[in-house]
Structure 1
C-alpha cells in the first residue's frame, strides 16, 4: 500500500507531524518499533503490580502551552489534566522550601525581598504568554511580536548563573531559578541556560506544571486516536533498519535522532550532510529511578506536599557544581535531582493508600554508573525517612536509557545539545532544518528546532515544510 507520508517513530513529534498532514486529507502511516506508541510518552508497571510509572516524560507544561496542542483542544475525555496548587517546590536545608505557583502574585508573595524583582521580570511574559511561547517554540524567524521578544532576547541568551546573581538578591530565589535552568542540561555558566529557566518559570506561572491523569501514555493514546479519526494508520512492533523496507510514499519523516537517520539511510545521504550529522553533539545522559512507595515522601517542608514536581539540589552553587561536574565526565556526589510525585494528585497511579515517585539526575554521556545511593541520599537530606517508604524501585542508567529508546543517544533525553550554536543548527547548518538533501526525506524529531520537550512543534514545522515543498511543485 502506498501513502502520501510515512513517519518513522511515534513520539509526540512524529504524531504531531502525522496529524498535521492528515488534517490536510493526506494518507499517513506511522511506524513504531516498540509494542506501543508514544516515544517518551509511555506509562508502564515498572516496579510492582498496580503501580503506574511514567517511563520518561512526566510533567507537561509544554503540552498545555504549545501552539500545536492548543490547536488540538484535547477534551477532558481524551486527556484529563491535573494541575497541582504549586507548580514546583524547591526544598532547602533549613527545612523550608521556595516554590512557583500557577499565579505570578502568589509566587511573588513567597519570595520576600525579591518579590518586586520577580514581578518586574515575569509580569510582561505572564501577561502575554501565548505570544511569547509562539515565538519561542519556532525555528529561526523574524519574531511575530518583536518588541516583547526583543526585550527579553538578551536574558534568554544569558547564562543562568549570571542572570540569577544579577537580578535576585536572596539565595533562596537564586536556588529556585537555578533548578529551573538546570533542565537545559547545560552548565549553568553557559548560555543560553537562562532561557530555559525563563521559559519553564513562565509556564509554571501561566499554564502550571500539570500531570496527565492515568499517566503520560494517555497523551500518546489521545494523539493516536485523533490521527486514526483523520484516517491515519499506526503500526507498532516494526523496527525499521533500512530505508528499502518502507512502503512507497511521497514523503518520509523521521522522528529519530540524527544517529537513527544515519543508521536507516546509510550511504544514501550525501557525504557532506552525513558528516554534519555525525558531528551533531549530544548532551550528558540521565540516570532514572522509579519507586513504589508505602506512603508519601516525608518532606520536611510543607510546600513540597503541594507540588507534583520537586527540585532536589540545594543552593545555586551546589546545582551549578553538579551540572559542571557532569560536563567534565564525572558523576556528582550531590546530584541535582528532578523528582515527580504524581500520585499525590492522581490516585489512579498506585493502589489505595500507596504512591509512586519518579526521578532522574544528569550523568556523563553513556554512563553505566548506578546513582541510586547518591540520588536517594539527596532526597533523604530534605525528606528524612524517605528510604523507609520504599517498597520497590526500578532503575535505568544512561546506557540503558539508550538501549530502551535509541533516540536517547548516550542517555540524552533532550536529543542534542542546545547551546547558542546548535540551537540554530539542529541537526545541520540549514535555513530549512527539517529538510534533508534527499528529495522527500525529512527529520521531525527533537533534534530539530525548537528542541526537546512534549510540545509537538518539531513535528508540526516539519509537516509544514513538507506541505510547502509540495505546494511549490504544484
Structure 2
C-alpha cells in the first residue's frame, strides 16, 4: 500500500518525500536516473579521485531555507562556509570581496563603502524577513512588512537605470552585479536585482556554504532520512504516465511543465493545459569542469579565500555579457561563475591537485562549446591559469538539457526568471503547487519560490498535500531517527 508517490528525486522531490514520510505516511519515490539527486549529484567526471559537482556546487540558500532549517541540514552535512562569500575581480589586480562581515566588506570598498553599507544593512538586519519574502509564494501579505519594504525599494533601485546613482567607483557595483547575474536575466532588471540583493544579504549573514563531499552529500542526507522513516526510493524507474504509478492518495511531481503535460495532460482542464503550454523557459548555461595542478593564481590575492568568484569585470561588462545572452548571442567575454571546492574540502581531489567548477550563460538550446571564452576570462584575471589545466570537460546547454529533463533548453532555473515568470509559476494562483486534479501536486523549481537548492517547492507542495488529502499538519523534520 502506498500513501504517497513522488516522481523525481531532485532536491525538491526529496524534500517532499522527507516531509510526507516524517508524517508517518508510506512513501515511494520514482527516479529515472541510476542515482537520486538531480541537481545534487557529485561524480568523478574525468579521473578517479577527482569529485566534481555535476550541477550545483555552492549553496547560498540552504542555511536560510525554512525547509533545510527544519531539517537541520547543518547537523547532518559538514558545510564549509568561507569567510569571503564571493568576489568580483577587476583588471589591474583588484577585486571587490563580499565578506560575511558587512562592516569589513564596506571598509574595503573605498569611497563607496558607506553607500554599500546603507544599501545592504537593512537587508542584513532583516534577513529573516527577506528570506520569508523570497522563499515563499509572492502572492501573499508579507509577515515582515518593514524588511519587505526595504527589500522592495532597493530592488526597484538596483533593477533600474538608477542602479549606479549612489556609487562613485567600480568595486561596489561590480560586487552587486556579480550576484545579480545569477538570475540569468537582463541587467539591470527587477528580477536580477532582487536575486542579487537576497543572495548578497545571505552572504553577509550565514555565508555561502560548500558541502564536504560535494553536493551529493545533501542528497545522501535527504535519502537517508526518507529511508529511515520507511520511504522507498526506486531508481532507474522512468514514469511516462500517471497510470504507471501505484494507487496513492497523493502524488507529487518534481517535473517541469512539459513533462507534467506528458504525464497527465489529457486529464487537465483546457485552461490549465494552455497555461502549461505557454510556460516559458529562460536562457541556459555552458559548464566547464577542470582538473588543475594547483590553485587558481588570482591576480587579486583575496579571491583565493572566496567560495565563489564572479568573473565578468566591471558592472558595465557584466551587464553587456548578460544582455548579449538575452538577445540570443554568445558573448566573447562572458560572465563566468567560478568555484574551487577543493580549496575548502581537501577530499575532493588528490594531494597537489584541485578541481574547478565553472559555467557561463548562453542562449537556450545552445550547442556552442564556450571553454575557450571561459579560459580566456580566467587567464585575464588569473595569469598563468592555462598552465595549470590538466584536463577539462565541457557540458553545453544542450548537454544540460539531456542530463535533466527539467532543464529545458539547458535552463537550470526550470523557468524564465522575469516578473511574469515569478508570478505565474506555472500559473497565477495562491496555491500554484496544486493542480486541477485532486491529489496531484507539482513540486519542481517551476513552482515558487523557483530555482536554487532550497527544498521549498517540495516542502510547500507536501504541506498542502498533507492538509488537503490527509488532514495533517507539517511534522517535525529535525535530526533524529525513528
Match of residue 297 from structure 1: 296
Partners of 2:150 and 2:385 lie apart in 1 by 44
Query: Counterpart in 2 of 1:434?
Result: 433
Equivalent pair of 1:160/1:197 in contact (CA under 8 Å): no
Residue aligning to 1:222: 221
Number of residue-to-residue matches in the alignment? 472
Q: Residue 456 of structure 1: CA displacement? A: 0.7
Structure 2: how far apart are the matches of 1:197 and 1:150? Answer: 16
1:130 is displaced (CA, Å) by 2.2
In 2 relative to 1, CA 161–142 (structure 1 residues): closer, same or farther, beyond 3 Å?
A: closer
Inter-partner Cα distance in structure 1 for 2:66 and 2:356: 30
Specify the alignment match of 1:396 in structure 2: 395
Residue aligning to 2:459: 460
1:173 is aligned to: 172
* Superposed CA offset, 1:210-232 (max 9, x none): 10001000000001111112221
Counterpart-to-counterpart distance in 1, 2:420 and 2:153: 15
| Structure 1 residue 233 corresponds to structure 2 residue 236 | no
For residue 173 of structure 2, give the secondary structure of its aligned residue in structure 1: helix
Worse-superposed segment, 149-158 or 329-338? 149-158
* Pairing 1:13–2:12 present: yes
**Which segment drifts farther, 17-26 or 334-343?**
17-26
Q: C-alpha displacement at 1:159, in angstroms? A: 5.1
Question: Deviation string for 1:38-90 (max 9, x for gaps)?
Answer: 110000011111100000000012111111111111354x3100011211111
CA contact (8 A) 1:160 1:178 kept: no
**Cα separation, partners in 2 of 1:245 and 1:381, compared to 1, 3 Å:** same
Deviations 1:289-329 (A, max 9, x none): 10011111111110111112111000111111111111111
Conservation of the 8 A alpha-carbon contact between 2:140 and 2:430: no
Matched ranges for 1:323-342 at <5 A: 323-342=322-341
Structure 2 counterparts to residues 2-401 of structure 1, below 5 A: 2-76=1-75, 78-139=76-137, 140-157=139-156, 160=159, 162=161, 164-401=163-400
User: How far, CA to CA, are the matches of 1:256 and 1:406 in structure 2?
Assistant: 8
Question: Hey, what's the Cα distance between the residues in 1 that align with 2:129 and 2:470?
Answer: 28
Shift of 1:15: 1.0
Instruction: Summarize the Cα distance change of 1:300–1:151 in structure 2 as closer, same or farther, 3 Å threshold.
Output: closer
> How far is 1:27 from its partner?
1.2
Q: Name the CA distance, whole Å, in 2 between partners of 1:273 and 1:445.
A: 17
Deviations 1:5-33 (A, max 9, x none): 11111111111111112221111111111
Q: Displacement of 1:446 after TM fit?
A: 0.6
298 and 428 in structure 1: CA distance in 2 versus 1, 3 angstrom threshold: same
The CA distance in 2 between the partners of 1:239 and 1:158, in whole Å, is 46
Question: Any conservation in 2 of the 1:159–1:192 contact (CA below 8 Å)?
Answer: no
Is contact 1:184–1:196 with CA below 8 Å preserved after alignment?
yes
Determine the C-alpha separation between the residues in 1 that align with 2:145 and 2:189: 25
Take 2:322 and 2:110, find their aligned partners in 1: how far apart are those partners? Answer: 28
Shift of 1:157: 4.5
SS at match of 1:61: coil
CA distance in 2, matches of 1:131, 1:320: 29
Distance 2:226 2:162 in 1: 42
TM-score (norm 2): 0.95
Cα displacement (A) at 1:270: 2.2
